[in-house]
Amino acid sequence: MDLLNLTTTEGIKFKDLKEAVDKVNVEIIEKQDIDKIIKTINEDSRKNVLSLGMKLEKAFQKHINEINRVKKLYDFDKSYGMGLMVAGVDEVGRGPLAGPIVAAAVILDINVDLSDIILYINDSKVLNEKKREELSIIIKEKALSYSIKLCTNEEIDTQGIAYCNNKVFKDACESLTIKPNLVLSDGYLIKGFDIDNKSVIKGDAHSASIACASIIAKVYRDNLMKEYHKKYPEYDFYNNAGYGTKNHIEAIKKHGITPIHRESFLKNIDYIG
């Protein structure tokens, strides 16, 4: 059913109308077309049909709200100066008991039209796994440059987590194929860094480039920990990503540690040495 060419809903079954409305992609349809469809639906006297018009209107408004939300993230990055090549950098895995700390740096084209912004980018922790995976692919395709770097658990044990946190930030930024004029880092300034750097508190909720870095770093690390799960299934890395869940700690006490555990993080846990 072509809703755009529909002039009346008279004689059309609710089931068929609902199926057609459910197929409408509000992300690609123009507002005037949405308004036309809703106008036609609202001329129907059936309550269940009228509810379809309300549903379509709410879905489109939700889409507009998302555009406006993400536009603010892009505008935040642009606010540091027109023409600047801005990179965002963020890390994941600072707190787990096992696995590496991972950082990603991303340079976006922040001067794109609204139709080309990456919708749904956000702090990776507030997104579900499926959405993160989808966005990670889109970000890598649309980014002008991106880089992912890590420090292993051995480096964390010998150098300390603070040193490794700073190192992966630096490494990720310095491995970009385009040198940025400015780096926006989540949470704190990067030490020993020769590129202009601004720290942004809760940056993945304010900056488009930091949000994108947060997403691809988390997807990379989560997938890495899923691979480790295949090798060490007793520790449930597939679900806990190395964090100190109850099941993970119980597995450490029962089975001891693996080569990817951070011994410096386990000093208060009695385990098989």
The binding site for a divalent metal cation consists of 90-91, 186
For residue 241, what are the contacts with CB-CB under 8 A and spacing of at least 6?
93, 96, 99, 221, 222, 225
Q: Are 216 and 107 in contact (CB under 8 A)?
A: no
Give the chain as a 3 state SS string. CCHHHCCCCCCCCHHHHHHHHHCCCCCCCCHHHHHHHHHHHHCCCCHHHHHHHHHHHHHHHHHHHHHHHHHHHHHHHHCCCCCCCEEEEEEECCCCCECCEEEEEEECCCCCCHHHCCCCCCCHHHCCHHHHHHHHHHHHHHCCEEEEEEECHHHHHHHCHHHHHHHHHHHHHHCCCCCCCEEEEECCCCCCCCCCEEEECCHHHCCHHHHHHHHHHHHHHHHHHHHHHHHCHHHCHHHHCCCCCHHHHHHHHHHCCCCCECHHHCCCCCCCC
| Block residue for tokens 């603010």 | 72
Q: Are 58 and 34 in contact (CB under 8 A)?
A: no
Residues flagged as binding site: 90-91, 186
- Provide the token pair at 167: 């190192």
